[in-house]
Structure formats: C-alpha cells, structure tokens
Amino acid sequence: MSEIKLPKIDLTESPVSKQTLQSLQEAITNYGAFYVKTNYKDHSRLFESAGRLFKTSDMDKSELTIEPGGFTRGFIKLGGESGSDLMELKEAFSYGATLDGQPRNKLEGDNKWPNTLALQDKETFKDFYKECNRISLEISKLLSVLLTGEETTWTELVEGGFSISLMRIFKYFGCSNPNSIGSSPHTDWGFLTLIKADEKEPALQIASEKDGKTAWHNVSAIPEGESDPSPWFIVNAGDFLAMATNGSCLSPYHRVVSTTTDRTSFVYFAYPSYECRTPSFKSNKLSFYQDQSQPSSFKGTRMTEITTQCFGDFIHDKWSQVYRY
C-alpha cells in the first residue's frame, strides 16, 4: 500500500506565495486533495468533547437518531448509514448551523444535541463549525484566484451555503478484519470537504486509476514529519467544485478502511447555496455523483438529476440514498 504525499498549503502565510499557488495547482490536478495549515489550536479539546459526546446513553442516542428522508442531523448508529451494501463499522453524529428563524429549505433545521452534553462541549462543536466555515471560504478564495483569476468568484456561493453545510463526527471502530470498511468508496458531493482526524494509523485512502485499474493510497491525518495535529486539515474537492471548474479540479474517489484501533474524525462538508444549479459537465475522469444505490459501479453517474434539480434538492436525495434502517 503506497502512501501519497499530498501537497501542503499554508493558509497562515500572508500574502500567499507563488510557490503555494503552484502546490495548490498540482494538488487539484493530480489528487483533488491537499493538506492545509491553519491557525486552529484546539485539537485535543475537540476530540475530548467528541469522546464525551459518544458516551451519550444508548437510549438518548436512539431518541436523537437521524430520520429517513435526507435531513441528516443527530446520531447515526452502527449500520445506520452506508454508501454501499457493506456494513460500515462506525457510529456518527451530524450537526449543522444553528437555525435562525424558520427553515428556508429542506436542509435547514434544528440540531439534535443531547441534554446530557455539557454546554462547554456544545460550544466547542459550534465554534469548530464556524472555524470550518471560515477555512472553507479562505480556501475557496485561493482556488478562485488560481482558477478564475479573481478572488471572489465563489464567495457568494460558499457564504450562501453556510446554513446548509454539515459537520459529521465519526467514530470508526477498530477491527482486525482487513476487509472491513469504515466508509465505502465515494466522492464527496459538495464544494469542499475538510477532514480533521485523530488516529493512530492512517485509514483514509484516495484512489488513482491507471489502465482501468484502481489503486488505493493511504493519506495520514497530518503530513509526514509534523507532530502537532492542531493546525492541520485534509481537504477534498467535492463533485460540485469539479463540475464548476470543468474538471480542472478533481473530485477524489476515496474511502475509509477499518484499522486495528478506533479512529475519530470531524468531516465538514462545505456546500454551495441551496438554490444554485449544478453546472453541467461531461467528463470521464473518475466518478462524479456516483449512484450510492449501485455501489459496485465505479462509473455510475446521475447527470440528468444533477442538471434538472437545484443543488440542495439534489443533496437531500443523495442523503436518502445512503440511509439504512
């Protein structure tokens, strides 16, 4: 199993150097993924809060589970969700922006915080959500400079998506069976995904395709040689971004394999605004919007749906596809 060394993008340097933009170009063309270094400092506190969240009683968890239908906030029990016909060895909790007034669409709504969760932990989660809003906007500006020559091309789109973007906290269970899976192969559907993981062994893998064959490469939570996990995130481009850039930015096909030790990750899905239309785009580069109900078909796409629905309606349907009873 080879490791890939994703390029590192330092968001703390100002102004961003030519070298950084070059690394970003290489990253989006070759992998659709890269590391970012940020000013975030609270890695330990964040994962301690996650540990306490998953200690919520089974009864409370089952009262606060996500409902079928595509609005995905609350607990997801073991086996409650899968992007394939495999059992994914994990439990999860999903939350989003705090609702301000009435929901304006099918992806806005109330979070399902357990009553037993300490206020401090809830604040840690909410702050982290806002931090991810900020980081995703910063990255979108860099990508925008690189790909469109202007900084603000996607600003409205990304800010418009703050109220529907999602944070998902995963607890993957350690398992010694090498064939068991934490997250089935997929592409992410939105604009950008930020991943912050606490792990002892790499578990995220990104695919490359050569001569019709798929090879998987480990991606560690932090770049090789780094010791402080706090500032580091992995970033994946989503299908929407791949389409909006006409394929200049790859949407990586990836999965999470089970490792012998438990792993926890925060995965922030930055969505564009609900009403926006997915740009039409024809490419045979890897897999866009793979049909989760036909998981074994690496090539499956749902182009018709993409171009006839607005993004939010489309995503709402995608979440229903991965819901398992």
Q: Which residues bind ligand AKG (CB under 6 A)?
A: 168, 170, 183, 188, 195, 197, 204, 254, 256, 265, 267
Nearer to Fe ion, 168 or 302 (CB): 168
Task: Give the helix ranges, DSSP H, for the chain.
Answer: 18-30, 43-53, 58-63, 119-148, 155-160, 239-244, 303-308, 311-322
- Out of 188, 199, 239, 262, the residue judged to bind Fe ion by CB under 5 A: 188
Nearer to ligand AKG, 56 or 259 (CB): 259
Q: Which residue lies nearest ligand AKG, judged by its C-beta? A: 265
Cβ pair 251, 30 in contact under 8 A? no
Tell me which stretch binds Fe ion (CB under 5 A): 128-136, 184-192, 197-205, 272-280.
184-192
Residue 196, binding choice from ligand AKG, Fe ion, none, Cβ under 5 to 8 Å by partner class: none
Residue 254 Cβ vs Fe ion, minimum distance, rounded to whole Å: 6
Residue 19 Cβ vs Fe ion, minimum distance, rounded to whole Å: 28
Nearer to Fe ion, 108 or 188 (CB): 188
Question: Crossing angle for the helix pair 18-30 and 119-148, nearest 10 degrees?
Answer: 90
Tell me which stretch binds Fe ion (CB under 5 A): 38-46, 147-155, 180-188, 237-245.
180-188
Residue 22 Cβ vs ligand AKG, minimum distance, rounded to whole Å: 26
Tell me which stretch binds Fe ion (CB under 5 A): 90-98, 103-111, 116-124, 188-196.
188-196
Pairing, β 166-172 against β 263-270: antiparallel
Pairing, β 192-198 against β 232-237: antiparallel
Nearer to Fe ion, 113 or 268 (CB): 268
Residue 21 Cβ vs ligand AKG, minimum distance, rounded to whole Å: 26
d(CA 250, CA 224): 23
Residue 256, binding choice from ligand AKG, Fe ion, none, Cβ under 5 to 8 Å by partner class: ligand AKG
Q: Name the maximum alpha-carbon separation found in the chain.
A: 54
Report how far apart, in Å, the C-alpha atoms of 322 and of each of 68, 92, 254, 295 are: 10, 13, 16, 10
d(CA 257, CA 236): 17
Nearer to Fe ion, 111 or 251 (CB): 251
d(CA 29, CA 32): 6
Coil vs helix vs strand at 245: coil
Nearer to ligand AKG, 92 or 97 (CB): 92
Residue 195, binding choice from ligand AKG, Fe ion, none, Cβ under 5 to 8 Å by partner class: ligand AKG
Residue 199 Cβ vs Fe ion, minimum distance, rounded to whole Å: 15
Residue 322, binding choice from ligand AKG, Fe ion, none, Cβ under 5 to 8 Å by partner class: none
Q: What is the DSSP string of 98-157?
A: PP-SS--STT-------TTS-HHHHHHHHHHHHHHHHHHHHHHHHHHHHHHSSS-TTHHH
> Which residues does 304 contact at the CB level (< 8 Å), separation at least 6?
none
Residue 87 Cβ vs Fe ion, minimum distance, rounded to whole Å: 18
> Which H helix or E strand runs over 235?
strand 232-237
Residue 211 Cβ vs ligand AKG, minimum distance, rounded to whole Å: 26
Nearer to ligand AKG, 71 or 141 (CB): 71
Nearer to ligand AKG, 168 or 316 (CB): 168
Q: Which residue lies nearest Fe ion, judged by its C-beta? A: 188
Tokens of 211: 């001569």
- The residues that touch Fe ion, with contacts defined as CB under 5 A, are 188
